[in-house]
Amino acid sequence: MKKCEKCQKEYEDTLETCPYCSPESMFNANENEEGETSLFELQTNDQPTEGKIATLPKIFCKYCGNEIVDGNDYCNHCGHDIYDKDKRHCINCGNLLEPKQTFCDKCGHKATSINLPQKIVNAKNHFSKKKMIIAIIAALFAVGLVVTGIKIVPNLFVKYDTYLAEGDFEKAYDKAGNDEKDLVIKENIAAIVSSLIKENLKDSSSFVLREVYIEEKLKNVVIKEQGNNSYGGAVTSYVWYQWNNEKSEFRSYGSCSDFDKEEIKSWDDTDDMIDKLTENIVKDFVKDFIDQKKLKMESSAVNRINDLNKNGKLEDIKLLDQAKKILDKKDDDSKS
């Protein structure tokens, strides 16, 4: 066996020159290995043919798969050089091109054209269709997972106060733990009473909730609110609401803006005296009530109710069935 100094491949001793670099040397051989090759290499049969002139083997481009024209050192389909992978030729005239050259400077032919064999084109189209089908199936599966995740996953991690901020007290109550359910009920009651106070204001759009106080029995609620008077000035006052079991609703029992006692004068008539006595009773109750700091609700609850009001949801809040049951039950227990 001989070894080519140019391509470093071995070939038969009977050949004068390397058949890989100079395929025409195969015509001078006494023996021949028939067949085709790919990737610029010769494919041979195991059995030599004696007494026949060797035929020139076919050489195929390893980049595009097309057959190399006899005598060419480049592929006239894609332009790649047979011996140097970094070199490209013009597929029209064979002129050597620069790496980033897109048009031949000799003949002007476009240098990026690659003509694949039809078998390869058909195979690529076949696999492309299969890939497209697989991609579509995968995309539909992914969409299904996303839709399912949108419906299920958020419910696994959402907290009860998220539902409170949305005004959905039923979901908030269901999501809350045992220690949190009382907070949900109290915030629900605070929202209900705030809606009643807003409704009675001369300028309902000016309503702002400042503080909320609710007793453990839930029967009495005192709210500090702000609203505009007839002259457009902001006025702050405390409003006392109490649960009325017969009417099954919260009803106002009075309001005050300060805790200074009304002095009864000798010239006051009966109606004036009754009004002042009533005002003093309301002031005494409210003052004693708000002095119990443990009855004051968190500012976060106040902020959520104000946000519901700004978003136009405050009037839509309904009293929870759980809250009503507790209110009615407390009233029954007190009677017994």
What is 67-94 written as a DSSP string?
Answer: BPPTT-SB-TTT-BBSS-TT-EE-TTT-
- Between strands 234-244 and 220-228, the pairing is antiparallel
Between 329 and 328, the more confident residue is 328
Domain membership flag for residue 316:
yes
Report whether pLDDT(42) > 60.
Answer: no
- Residue 119: its pLDDT value, please? 59
Domain membership flag for residue 188:
yes
Domain membership flag for residue 61:
no
Domain membership flag for residue 15:
no
List CB contacts of 315: < 8 A, sequence separation 6 or more: 195, 198, 199
Average pLDDT over residues 132-152: 75
Average pLDDT over residues 87-111: 83
Q: Which residues of 101-120 are buried (b: 16+ CB within 10 A; e: fewer)?
A: eeebeeeeeebeeeebeeee
DSSP state of 110: B
List CB contacts of 131: < 8 A, sequence separation 6 or more: none
pLDDT digits (tens, 9 = 90+) for 262-287: 888 889 888 898 999 999 999 999 99
In terms of residues, how long is the chain?
A: 336
List CB contacts of 258: < 8 A, sequence separation 6 or more: 283
Residue 112 pLDDT level (bands cut at 50, 70, 90): low
Between 125 and 131, the more confident residue is 131
Domain limits at 223? Answer: 177-335
Domain membership flag for residue 159:
no
Distances (CA, A) of 335 to 24, 63, 218: 119, 96, 16
What integer best gives the mean pLDDT of the chain? 80
The structure tokens 């140019």 sit at: 6
Distances (CA, A) of 237 to 11, 211, 256, 258, 287: 108, 10, 6, 8, 12
- Residue 150: its pLDDT value, please? 62
Domain membership flag for residue 245:
yes
Amino acid letter, residue 184: V
Look at residues 276, 243, 241 and name the one whose alpha carbon lies nearest to residue 260.
276
Q: Which residues of 61-98 are buried (b: 16+ CB within 10 A; e: fewer)?
A: bebbbbebeeeeebbbbbbbbbeeeebbbbbbebbebe
Domain membership flag for residue 4:
no
Domain membership flag for residue 75:
no
Choose the weakest-confidence range: 143-147, 159-163, 191-195, 277-281.
Answer: 143-147
Total of domains in the chain: 1
Report whether pLDDT(128) > 90.
Answer: no
pTM confidence score: 0.54
pLDDT digits (tens, 9 = 90+) for 164-203: 999 999 999 999 898 899 999 999 999 999 999 999 998 9
- Residue 120: its pLDDT value, please? 59
Report whether pLDDT(331) > 80.
Answer: no
Alpha-carbon dihedral 29, 33, 35, 37, rounded to 10 degrees: -80
Q: Which residues of 121-154 are buried (b: 16+ CB within 10 A; e: fewer)?
A: eeeeeeeeeeeeeeeeeeeeeeeeeeeeeeeeee
